[in-house]
Structure 1
Amino acid sequence: MTAQPPPDGTAPSPWEGHIDAQLLDVVRRRVLSQAGPVTELQLAAAVRESGRLLGAAGSLLAMERISAELNGLGPLQGLVKDPAVTDIFVNAPDSVWQDRGAGPQKVAVRFGNETELRALAVRLVASGGRRLDESSPCVDVKLAAGYRIHAVLPPISTKGTLLSIRIKRRTVFSLEQMVDAGGVEPLFAQLLAALMKRRLNFLISGATGAGKTTLLSALLGLCPATERLVLIEDAAELEPDHPHAVTLEARHENAEGAGAVDLAELVRQALRMNPGRLIVGECRGAEVRELLMAMNTGHSGGGGTIHANSARDVPARLAALGALAAMTPEAVFLQGASALDVVIHLSRANGKRIVAELAVVQLEKGRLEVVPALTLHPELGPVRGAAWTGLAARLKLADKFDGAAPLSGGAGHHGYLP
């Protein structure tokens, strides 16, 4: 597992220092021969007893490496030190990638072989209370350290063990901070603040890693402290800056195949908790039926996230999820048109996660349509669409623009809200 010189185009390994494999093996065997959990004192004693003269810095590096292997992410642990890293992908022992917000980048981290990679995947999944083996070759689990682990074993994975790690950062961004970082145009920020104030129901769409959860947390932070937020998630990731937010987390079945509590059941339970706002962290299955029904029974201001390539693809995505709940497309469209008001779409551009479009949900000739109200143009900035006038009226904004003139971002358009 020693670091190798990075190939062209790869980021350097975070494990610099060249602690040789023989020392690591000696210390590892000494530590594992003792009963009980591995402690820092045990590691320090094992390094000293190895007889190697490493110096203070070398001893600390050896302890860190072995602690990561036994209790952490193994050779991947060093990547977590970078606060910008949100995802780690392992495609093969010699193919490790990280995502710092601008897409996957290969790094100079290596596993010795497939056996070591598989052993790490099995240990990480086991630490989350699940098992990864031939009978359960695909597992998704959340660890107490804040990692979300997804692992796939052969032969489901044709070329070896696959490991994906989502790193939960504790920092919660406000909408204002997202504007300052360039992720949200000021005009979009005003519209988002207004739709939360007016309690419109919304869905945040986008691809994996587009920043849907981050934006949702920021929007929930705008809710008044008098409102009770009930958050429903498959894996708890939302941490809004709000004094009255409670989270219900789905539970997977145990090794005997029992004890599962899915998102649909959690939505039903949440409706009995008198929620001020009902939020589903991610609609990915039959729970979409309960969410749409809840929004149609007086629970305004609710929302969630959904995977979609664009805002206009959301109706097709909802129809597909509704089919899992035995709903016809017509039923999904009718429920969706009544339940949903706005779709907020996120995308990546120039290495940034940005709010790219705000669209209005409406029913047209029996089909659910998502009509653009404001779209971020790469050169012109925010440009209004066909649904702008209706959305502005619902949000009680002053539409001061005549004709078909596009809106462009900038200080001249900051004074919209009454």
Structure 2
Amino acid sequence: MTPQQPQDLPDFESLAILDLEDSAVSTTPLTPLAQQPDARRDAAPAAPAADQGSSPSTRFTDWSIITRIRADVANALAEEAMPGSDADDQRARAASLVGSFIDDEESRRLDSGLVRWTNAERRAITQAVLESLFGFGRLQPLLDDPSIENIEIYGYDDVLIQRTGNAFEQADPIAESDADLLSTLSFHAAQQSKSFDPAHPRLHMSLGPTARLYATGWVVPKPIATIRVHRLVDVTLDDLVDLDLMPPELAQFLRAAVRAKKSIMVAGAQGAGKTTLLRGLINEIDPWEKLAILESVAELHLEQLGKERHRRLVPLEAVPGSDEKDANGHPIGEITMDDWARDTFRMNLDRMIVGEILGPEVIAMFEAMQTGAGSLSTIHAKSSAAVPERVVTLARKDGRVTEDFARRQVSENIDLAVYVDLVKTRNPWTGESSLNRRITDVTSYTPGENGQVASTQLWGLQDGQIISKMAPEWMDDLRPYLDEEAA
């Protein structure tokens, strides 16, 4: 099934009037396509895609036709605008409309002396139109491919994909031009109340429930985007043991630490599996605990997992606000991580979790940890020993706290740092090398001399395997949960 966008329903009127041929995104009111003189509608239809037989995997590549049909369907849906209709109703109605508009296009083809589309091509057109309306267009097949975990875009026709554990490979273009790519990203950004235009050339957003995108345009020679696809969403620590991320004994230790409400930071390099491990830790929390998830850009998407996993879940995402300012000089409609953090103290929470720490989120994380309710977060760092300085650096850059205050927060409130890395391993039978995700270090922090942070390595590598080296001073807090597992 094609993933739904995080928002409720697409804005079909906006979609219908989006001109993907423009070199920049227009900010002026537009006339609906049905009322516009459009030379492309009167031109002879483009040549048909090569006949690939009746295979259901046929992909239709003439996007001028797909764009026309998409606009017609969007116009029809916008005109109907049935109150109370949900995403499933809209999708079913769109699917029925696509067929009639394909018939219209095919009539024009036959009048021009072109051949009739095959059934496989008609199915491929329908799929492409629905993906464009309800998914992410030409990106959607890449997002749906379970083997792809990284997508890098260096202009509309230079797309690299990385499959799990493999090198990058070239993929097909995802747009007709760089202007087309910018316009498409701008539309999807608007659907999430974000701006992506010459005045806002950087974009952070979710692509459905499993992917995160960063893009920049206009200030660089070509649009550039990086998409990280998380394939493991509903994952437990036992699942990660099976994937060889950690041994069973470490999973038992971390599970007990989560249930004992110890504050844990997951650290690691980019692409090492920090978010996946964070999901695994969160999924060990009692389903009836009330959780608030604070993120600058929604990435965890725990609401997708169902009530049996997290019955009392409050997912909160920062809102950038508009270009207009209020009397205090703040963007109208803006909701910051600090705003959400303050609000959570009126939510009767059991636990507040702050997702990825990249900058100002660190202040919200401090507030979460100060409650002693077992906060969980991720951070980029070169090692677990580097986590304290990384946190202090981010806190100092924010400018609202002193260095001494930041160090005190780390030493008094972060119980564990779990470091996950990409480890190069060699197959003894084939001799082939590959990169595999492993937990390589678990460290605890306590207040040290002269306001410094003292660290103790609890788990570390020995002969390539991670083993327990020392018990934390709060080990007695974990024993009731370890005894539960033993029983």
Q: Same fold (TM over 0.5)?
A: yes
Match of 1:219 among 272, 281, 288: 281
Of 198, 203, 209, the residue aligned with 2:265 is: 203
The residue that corresponds to 2:83 in the other structure is none
Q: How many Å apart are 1:192 and its aligned residue?
A: 0.4
Query: What SS does structure 2 have at the residue aligned with 1:36?
Result: helix
Q: TM-score, normalised by structure 1?
A: 0.80
Identical positions, percent: 23
Partner of residue 410 from structure 2, selected from 336, 340, 353: 336
Single out whichever of 188-197 and 236-245 deviates more from structure 2: 236-245
What is the identity, as a one-letter code, of the residue corresponding to 2:262?
L
Give TM-score scaled by structure 2 length: 0.69
Q: CA deviation at 1:374?
A: 0.7
Equivalent position of 2:393 in the other structure: 320
- Say which of 284, 307, 310 aligns to 1:242: 310
Alignment partner, residue 259 of structure 1: 333
Runs of at least 5 residues in structure 2 that lack an aligned partner in the other structure: 1-46, 48-55, 79-93, 325-330, 424-433
Report the AA paired with residue 101 of structure 2. Answer: A
> 1:408 maps to which residue?
none
Deviation larger for 355-364 or 92-101: 92-101
RMSD of aligned C-alpha atoms?
A: 3.1
Cα distance change, pair 285–18 in 1 and its aligned pair in 2 (3 A)? closer
Correspondences of 1:267-282 after superposition (within 5 Å): 267-282=341-356
Say whether residues 1:133 and 2:197 are aligned partners. Answer: yes
Change (3 A) 1:307 1:277: same
- From the superposition, tell whether residues 223 and 122 of structure 1 become closer, same or farther in structure 2 (CA, over 3 Å): closer
Do the aligned residues in 1 keep the contact of 2:369 with 2:414 (CA within 8 Å)? yes
Pairs within 5 Å for 1:13-412: 17=58, 19=60, 21=62, 24-26=63-65, 28-29=67-68, 31-33=70-72, 35-37=75-77, 39-49=94-104, 50=106, 51=110, 52-69=115-132, 71-102=134-165, 105-110=168-173, 111-142=175-206, 147-155=211-219, 157=220, 159-167=221-229, 171-238=233-300, 239=302, 241-256=309-324, 257-297=331-371, 299-323=372-396, 324-349=398-423, 350-365=434-449, 366-377=451-462, 379-385=463-469, 388-390=470-472, 393-394=475-476
In structure 1, how many angstroms separate the alpha carbons of the residues matched to 2:116 and 2:442?
62
Cα distance between partner residues in 2 of 1:183 and 1:146: 20
Amino acid across the alignment from 1:84: S
Q: Distance in 2 between matches of 1:220 and 1:389?
A: 23
CA-to-aligned-CA distance 1:183-205 (integer Å, 9 cap, x gap): 22212112101212332221111
Deviations 1:37-77 (A, max 9, x none): 49223332333332442321121123223443455333322
- Asked if the contact 2:58–2:124 (Cα under 8 Å) also holds between the matched residues in 1, the reply is yes
Task: Select between 320-329 and 223-232 the one with higher mean Cα deviation.
Answer: 223-232
Task: State the 1:338 CA deviation.
Answer: 1.0
Larger deviation: 267-276 or 174-183? 267-276
1:321 Cα deviation from its structure 2 partner: 1.7
Stretch moving more, 269-278 or 142-151: 142-151
Q: Do the aligned partners of residues 273 and 123 (structure 1) sit closer, same or farther apart at CA in structure 2, a change above 3 Å counting?
A: closer
Cα distance in 2, alignment partners of residues 20 and 243 from structure 1: 43
Provide Cα deviations, 1:228-280, integer angstroms capped at 9, x if missing partner: 22222223333172323322222121243321111122122213323222211
CA distance in 1, matches of 2:410, 2:231: 33
Residue 235 of structure 1 aligns to which amino acid in structure 2? Answer: V
1:113, CA displacement in angstroms? 3.0
Q: Structure 1: which 5+ residue stretches go unaligned? A: 3-14, 398-414
Q: Secondary structure at the match of 1:178?
A: helix
Equivalent AA in structure 2 for residue 46 of structure 1: F
Corresponding residue for 1:404?
A: none
AA aligned to 2:99 is: A
Q: 1:303 to 1:81 in 2, by over 3 A?
A: closer
Q: Deviations over 1:140-192 (max 9, x none)?
A: 2335666533221132x2x3111233446584011111111222221211210
CA distance in 2, matches of 1:196, 1:27: 49
Matched to 2:218, the amino acid is P
User: How far 1:381 sits from its partner (Å)?
Assistant: 0.9
SS of the residue corresponding to residue 298 of structure 2 reads coil
